[in-house]
Structures are given as C-alpha cells and as structure tokens.
Structure 1
C-alpha cells in the first residue's frame, strides 16, 4: 500500500523540499488550503484534503481536517487487526507522516495593536487535534511540527526505509510540549484580556529557553534561563548584551535585584545602584551620572568589587573611565555612548547590558514566583512603596523636611534589602547596609560597622518593625537622627519612648517590605 503524508503548515520553511523528497520516496502527499497551493506551485503532486474526506473545506477554512477519514487514518493502530479491518471497511487509508505546525497565535498576540478578534482567529483547532492524535499513535505515525526535524525524518527514511521508534517517540514528546505551551499561552492571553487579576485555581505557565548556562548557583547544578513570552521591555529579558561573557545564573538573579531597586528612583535624577549577591551595597543620586556612581562606589568600596552596577542614564565617557577602574561583573544602563563603549570593551570580563526602558516601573499585576520543592509560591510583585497619607510621626520630634526627604530615599533602598534588613543613608547616599540577618539588631550593627564615621547624622530604614527598643538605643549611640519603619510591634511604645529620650524622629509607614 502506498504510504501517505499529510502536510499542513503555517511556517512553510523548507516544506516544499520536504514534500518533494517524500514524493520521491513513494509517499502520497495530502495537503490543505494555502499549503496545498504552495506545494502545487513548487511542482509537488498534491492530493487535496477534500478528495480524501469527500467534504469541501468550509467556514473560511475553519473546517478542513475535522473528519473521520483523517483522524481514523492517523489513530488506527497498525498492529491491531480489528482497527485495520475497520479502515478497510470504511475506505480509510492510513496516514503515516503528519507534518503540521499551528496557526501563529504567539506571533499574532505579540504584534502591536492586535485585537481580541485577531488573536482568537489565530487559535488553531484542527492542527492540535491531528498532531496530538499522531503523537498518541507514535509507534505508527511520525509527527513533525518543527521544520528543523525534516532532515532527520528524510535521512532515516532513506537509510532504513522508515522513521525509527526513538525518533518517533522524541517527535511525539515534542508535540505535547508544544501543545501544552500553545494552550497555556492562549489561557494566559484570555485571562489578561478579561482583566482577571485574581490568582487562578489552576496555574499553567509557559516560558521559552533563552540561554543554556554552564551551571547554576554552584558548578554541580545544571541551569538555564527561561523568559516569558512577550516579556515587558523594562525587564532583564529584554536587555541586549553588547559585550562580555554569557550571563551566569547568579548574574541574572543579581541584575534583576539591581533593576528592581533602580526602578524605585525612576528617571528624575541620575542614580547609581550597586548590588552584590542580590543585596544593595551602594546607592546614591547625583547631579550627574558620574557623581551618582562615585557616591555609590564610596558608600562601600569593598563590597562593590565584583558586583553589579545599574545606572539610569546613558553611560558617558567620563563615567565609563571611572567604572573601568575596578572589576565589575555587569554594567546595565539605558545605553552607552560610543566613547564609553570604547573604554569598557577593553575589559574582557565585564558584561554590558543595554536596556532603554529599565527605569519604567514594573506592572503591579506581575506575578512573583518562587519554586519550592513540591510546589510553587505565587504572589503579586511588590511594586508598592508607601502611602504618603498613612505616614505617621510617632515621636515628639518631627523629622525636618530634609530628614523626611532622606527617609523616603532610604525606604526605597531597604525595601530591596534582604530581610532582616537595615539601610542607613545621608545626603541621598547609602552609608551602611545590613542585609539578611536572623535578628534586626545584628542587621543594624552590621550597617553601622560598614558605615563607620559616616553613620553620624544619617537616617535609618528598617524593612519591618522593631521587636525591642535595642535598635533605637543602638541608633542613638551611632548618631542616627531619624528612623522610618512599618510599626506594628506589640512593643512599639518601648521604641517610641527610646526615640523620644534620644531626640530621634521616628516615622511609621504602616506597611512592611519583607524580602526573603
């Protein structure tokens, strides 16, 4: 019996050559719509799908292959005598190769200004049915959804006269990965189109591999970087690498933290953020980008070495010359002047990332996810900073206007410091940061130690409340003049009394910013 191949593709890359080769190998080529016309124009002897089904394509092509003579030909188990008897009785010819790729739903929704109607029209119905059927019957049917697999299929047909079982199994598995992603993308798009901001009962996510990594956090851990389809232009997924080695797992994690913190400052003033191990180690603003970077560097010249710097201005030559004086893993900015690139590209180990929209705030509807063994923690991303109307000075001494402005600055920094986190700043420059401690007083002691003499006259931000008055007492000894913290402890009054006794102004925000 002559073998039959069904070909119906949106992506016509290499399909004419594939069909011609199958024809030369003795296959009857069956096709539909635009694919049939393209193959016929290329000189392939094509059997139209209507000649197989005895039913015309209808509803503007929405119904072509949804027919028993197609699906029975795909799903019949060749080794099942009853199946084959029924095919013969019904006049159905088995289909041995199914080469189909689906309507371009992803490409459609990524187009600017796409309408809901256009998106829905590009949801494939018959295609997924056929490739899933072929994948289910993989022992007997070779299913090809990727033009990159045409060559493998043809080589095996020429060498051994059939597609091998391992190849057919691999191709079948590829189908279900593809249709799962396809349906997840549709579900996600429709959920967003409905404006549904709730956390769904069943969460299906889809990402695409952007980069295979040498390893993860440690050399014995395999790793890869996956990106969201249609990731926003202000995220690391949209960054363009201009120079340097491939980004590592830790690079990406740390750079994401630097970006999130930098976004708190927007584009109003030149700002520099230095991050090490996902924690800020130096943050400052300046009249120029050079001044902002110099001040961020001076905040902690030890920790910044081998760290990541994020800037909210195009890097100029003078700033590049200063940046080039130390080893940095990554420099990320909205752009780089030609003279800056000339300077920085001489350093082979620095990675330069260009992200024009890096200062744009994150979408508050963004999901923040963390994998745990056996599950997934999901929450809305913490894009909130504070509610000005909820700010409450709880001490006898009110902060001066200058102190209040400084408290806003340090609150942005401590929000992105791992909990328990403390940040100290003066003149819009961090002077000490104590991140990720198991108790708050130790975090403060670390920040004071890092800051040294610069701590005197600074203000303090704490990501959560003080359980005891010890932090206020330590602040007094270090010369800290004002504090911003969420409040909410059953011992708040102890801290307030200690602040009053010390003449420290203390402001409660009413909101905490844990970051674990």
Structure 2
C-alpha cells in the first residue's frame, strides 16, 4: 500500500475555472451550462454533449482539443488520457503535482458532471448482449473516481441533485466548499459502485453463475423513514434496479408517510395476491395474511377475506389484484386500515379513500409475476443470504394422493388454494380454506401442532362471528407448508373439521400420518414441494 503523501490541507473554497460535462441524459444541461458560462467557467465536453452545448450558443471545447487525440474506436477512447486525468487528480497546492501539470500543459478541471452510459436502462429494456456491453461505460466511471478522489479541489456531479447543489453554491459566492465536495464525492463513489454492481450482476446472469465469488447489491434511496421496526431503530427504504410492480415502485396517492412495517407488510400482501387469477383480496397483519379470499369481484373478495379474522384485520394492510372502484373502496374503509395497495383505482375509489386522510393508498400499475425469476436477500451478522424467489406453482396434476379416499374436485381446488396461501405464511404454517376463502390461519409457531390449533381457534371464532353453529373449518382443506413430523398436527386439523389435507410429505413417519388420515376417512395429497417461509 503506498504511503500517504504529505499534501497541504485542501482549501475550503474553490473557485472553478473549468468544467467537464459528458451526459447521456441532457435534461437540465442548458441551464447549468449557461450558469457556468456566466460565471466565467470554461466548458469542455464530448460528442453529443459538446454539440448540445454549442447548440445553445455557448463556447465549448472538445476533449480532443485538450488531449490532442481524436475520439477513436467508436467512442471507446476519448477521455482516457493523462491531460484529462491529470487535470482531475492533480493536487493543486502540492509543488510536484503543480510542476507536472505545468510541464505537461495540464489544466485543472474543477467540476465534473457525468451521468454514465445508460447500461441499466438498456438491460431493463431487454437490450441484446452486444447492446448491453457497448453501454458499459469505462471513461465515465474513471473520471468520476478521479475527481472524487481529488475532492479537495474537484466537485463531482452524478445526478440532478448534485448539479443543483453545485449551481446553488456557485450562484451564492462563486465557489464550492470542501464540505460540499466531500458530500458529492461520497455520492459519486456510491453511484459508480451501484453501476459496477449492475454490470457484474448482469454478467453473472449471462454466464449462468448463480453464486458468483463476489456479489454486490445496490439501491437508490427511495425514502428516509422516521424509524425502523421500532422507534429506537433507524430506517431507510431503497429501490433496486429490479423492475417489478410492487411497493418499491408504487405511487403513493395519499396518506401519511409509509413506515418500515407498512412497507414490509404491503410487500407481503401484494406478493400473495398476485398468485390468484380471480378477483382476490389479501389482508396482512405483521407480515402474515390473516384473511385471503377470491370472489366474483373485489368487494366480495374483501368481505370474504375479512370474515376469516376480523379482529386481526383492524389496522392491517389490504392488497387486491384488480383496479378498485367506488364500491370496493367503501367496503374497505368500513374498518381502520393502514395501507391499501392495488394495481389501480378509479376516481370514485380515490374520492372515497380521500375521506380517510391517514390511509395510505398505493397504486402500482401492474402485478408482480408471482412465478417469475428473481432473488431475495436476508442479512445475517457479517453477511447476507441469497436465494431464488419461490416460483413454485402447483396444479392438480402435481398432487400424489396417498390415502384410500380420493379427494373430490372441490377438495382439490380447496387444497391448492390453501397451499398457495401457506406458501406466504411464516413457518410453521397451517391454513384451513374452503371455497376460495381462508377459514383459519396459524403462523410462526415452533411446532406444527400449535399452528394447527391456532388456525382452528381462528376458524371457530370466525364461524361464531357469522352466527354459525360450526367452525368455518368444517369441511375445509388443510394445508401444511412442510411435512407433518408426527400425526398430532394432522389430528388437530381433523378435529377442526378438515376433510382433506395437502402437505409436502417426506417425513420418516409418513406412514403413521397416512394411517391416521385413513382412519379418519379424509383425503390427503403429497406435493413433494416444501414452501418454508422463515
């Protein structure tokens, strides 16, 4: 590692004399270029950016005028030159640096504004391999890093916010402060890191490397949060490059600022509701669904979802898979709800929600592909876990019936519905469902028997709330997201009224569990697929 040179302290105020600008997106260019010109700052640029500045009627030098070398190799080589990087890296007040700059005719560059080739958007738009490679910027990140390393003298802009800060400072007194240049450098290094992460992640996908030796995750700040899960914890929300409809890219139409828990719950609800083709509603409380149902329309789906557990639904998050109308909105606002997330909402629905000032309404303009590719992450001390998104989708053809009694077509539909919901319930998970409606959900217990008991309690209470003499679990299908290690959990489901059970199978005691099912005269199917959610 080279020893740190004994440089003189960086000046607080730097009055810029030269700016280098190279942009793919020219938004805001004219105003900034005019401001710099009016302040006597020389403009240097490349290619299309230089032509745009000249088109504004402003004097501008081409980088080739500084380097003495023309742009070559289809633009791959134009700024990779000592005159450019010496102008960015030279420590103005260090005698040997100043002498080198003088000896070689290197002029200082005090402002850099670069937004990089649009690699991310090229990939997002489905560009070819060749197009993506050509949009990997080399000179841009090099100049950003050079200028940021020399932040004692150079102000580096990588986005509109950075440019706005620099323009405000220059308009105030014609200089940039050291504190500003440090903030800009931190932002610039984060930008190049995110850019490199996008390139490396894309390349790993191209060569089908599911576990590259190094993996980077990057995100752009979407929102600072008042706190994290609890008021004594800090919190922030970042948006990744993944183009996936959901809470990260939703428009918040109204309501209070989203909190950490609101965002987590809205994501959980929306990922589940996207599993269904019929009009569906999911109500989530503390990351677990407390009611899920399909219906002829959203109003019916919501009413049926609420029946499952109206107590837990209070203050929950509601997700639907169709655009909302006024009738849907009036039904949903009958009880206190924290967040509603939907692919759309008409004017009548928005007017109804507007009367509930604290309710957050999120519109996504689409549903996530519940069975498409993607990765999910979880932090651990000193690292993070990465896994592929659970893309499992079961059909009747995937089921292996292991009992003497065969399930009816209605029971098969109920089993598949229940297992789909169980996939989104924290383990250990038990779900009772009937006719496209959850009857009871037991989540997050340390043993499967207790989850089955809790789900049965919910189903019994739901039946009582409807004025029924029996539990909603009577005649239901029971789903377990993992195998029953003993028959006790299955017996609880049978006692709750389930007539069909769906589970992965694979336990050492499968024979014991199947025998208990046969003795009770219920049907049971094995999926061969486990859907743990920890």
**How far apart are the structure 1 equivalents of 2:226 and 2:292?**
31
How far, CA to CA, are the matches of 1:230 and 1:75 in structure 2?
A: 35
Do 1:231 and 1:237's aligned partners in 2 also have CA atoms closer than 8 Å?
no
Is 1:165 matched up with 2:178?
yes
Query: Do the aligned residues in 1 keep the contact of 2:491 with 2:516 (CA within 8 Å)?
Result: yes
- C-alpha separation in 2, matches of 1:499 and 1:256: 36
Contact 2:377 2:387 in 1 (8 A): yes
In structure 2, the CA distance between the partners of 1:475 and 1:183, relative to structure 1 (3 Å rule), is closer
Label 1:21 to 1:499 Cα distance change in 2 as closer, same or farther (>3 A).
Answer: closer
- List aligned pairs for 1:196-207, cutoff 5 A: 196=208, 198-207=210-219
Distance 1:461 1:28, change over 3 A: closer
Q: CA deviation at 1:157?
A: 5.8
Task: Indicate the residue corresponding to 1:96 in structure 2.
Answer: 110
Question: Helix, strand or coil: the match of 2:311?
Answer: coil
Q: CA deviation at 1:366?
A: 0.5
- Kindly state the Cα deviation for residue 464 of structure 1 after the two structures are TM-superposed: 1.2
2:222 matches 1:210: yes
1:337-368 Cα deviation digits (max 9, x unpaired): 4333333322222222233422x533542101
User: Where does residue 248 of structure 2 map in the other structure?
Assistant: 237
Corresponding residue for 1:428? 436
Residue 206 of structure 1, CA deviation: 1.9
CA deviation after TM superposition for structure 1 residue 150, in Å = 4.2
Structure 2 CA distance, aligned partners of 1:58 and 1:119?
A: 20
CA distance in 1, matches of 2:59, 2:448: 77
Answering whether residue 309 of structure 2 is matched by residue 300 of structure 1, we say yes
Write the mapping of 1:321-332 to structure 2, written as runs, cut at 5 A. Answer: 321-332=330-341
> Any conservation in 2 of the 1:300–1:450 contact (CA below 8 Å)?
yes
- The SS at the match of 1:495 is helix
Measured in 1, the distance between the counterparts of 2:413 and 2:371 equals: 25
Q: How far is 1:20 from its partner?
A: 4.9
Alignment RMSD (CA, Å): 2.7
- Is the 8 Å Cα contact of residues 403 and 514 (structure 2) preserved in structure 1? yes
- What is the rounded CA distance, in whole Å, between the counterparts of 1:150 and 1:260 in structure 2? 38
Greater shift in the superposed pair: 53-62 or 325-334: 53-62
Mapping 1:246-257, distance limit 5 Å: 246-257=257-268
Distance 1:60 1:388, change over 3 A: same
Q: CA deviation at 1:400?
A: 2.4
Gaps of 5+ in 2: 1-14, 461-470
Pair 53,433 (structure 1): closer, same or farther in 2 beyond 3 Å: same
* Match of residue 490 from structure 1: 508
- The answer to whether the Cα contact below 8 Å between 2:450 and 2:489 also exists between their aligned partners in 1 is no
Deviations 1:424-480 (A, max 9, x none): 122222111111001111111111111112223222111111122212332333332
Report how far residue 324 of structure 1 moved: 2.1
1:92-491 alignment runs, 5 A limit: 92-110=106-124, 112=125, 114-150=127-163, 152-153=165-166, 162-192=175-205, 194=206, 196=208, 198-232=210-244, 234-265=245-276, 268-358=277-367, 361-386=369-394, 388-452=396-460, 453-491=471-509
Question: 2:50 is matched with which residue?
Answer: 36
Residue 88 of structure 2 aligns with which residue?
74
Confirm or deny: 8 A CA contact 1:97 1:142 kept in the other structure: yes
Q: How far apart, CA to CA, are the structure 2 residues paired with 1:21 and 1:286?
A: 60
- Residue 303 and residue 129 in structure 1: after superposition, are their counterparts in 2 closer, same or farther (change >3 A)? same
CA distance in 2, matches of 1:317, 1:25: 56
Contact 1:15-1:147 at 8 Å conserved across structures = no
Query: TM-score w.r.t. structure 2 length?
Result: 0.87
Measured at CA, do residues 393 and 166 of structure 1 come closer, stay the same or move farther in structure 2, by a change above 3 Å? same
TM-score (norm 1): 0.90
Which 5+ residue runs of structure 1 have no aligned equivalent? none
Local SS of the residue matching 2:478? strand
Count of residue correspondences: 510
